[in-house]
Amino acid sequence: MLAFVEAQHGGHDGAASIAYPELVGYYGFSEYAAATYKLHAEQDAGHSSRQIELIRKLALDDETQNRVRRAVKLGIEAWNLEWDAHVQAITGRRESWAGDRLGIRPVQVRLSQPT
């Protein structure tokens, strides 16, 4: 899951390059506190696409695909907790999101065979 997010996050035209100046300029984060976004914007182009390609190449059987699905579900929950921490840092309110846990149903995914 994080590889797909990283594919949108990194690089000069990714989400990190937009978030970094806002975190520092608008929200008042120190450059040190927002450094991960600067790093992703400058240096994180391409590695996520290699991860996605490996999943396509290697997750060919049901067992491996199910392991990938479980990892994705865990990744989504971790991603939500991470952003919950960002909101806490921005607002100064030390409370977790009061919404329901994600009820993600398994999705049948067919990965194309490598050529």
Q: Which residue has the tokens 């190449």?
A: 57
Q: Is residue 61 very low, low, confident or very high in pLDDT (cuts 50, 70, 90)?
A: very high
Q: What DSSP string runs through 63-86?
A: HHHHHHHHHHHHHHHHHHHHHHHH
Q: How confident is the model at residue 90 (pLDDT cuts 50, 70, 90)?
A: confident
**Regarding predicted confidence, which is higher, 110 or 41?**
41
- Confidence tier at 42 by pLDDT (50, 70, 90): confident
Q: What is the dihedral of CA 25, 31, 34, 40, to 10 degrees?
A: 110
| pTM greater than 0.85 (yes/no) | no
Give the list of residues 6+ apart from residue 25 with CB closer than 8 angstroms, or none. Answer: none
Q: How far is CA 54 from CA 3, 26, 71, 109, in A?
A: 11, 38, 15, 15
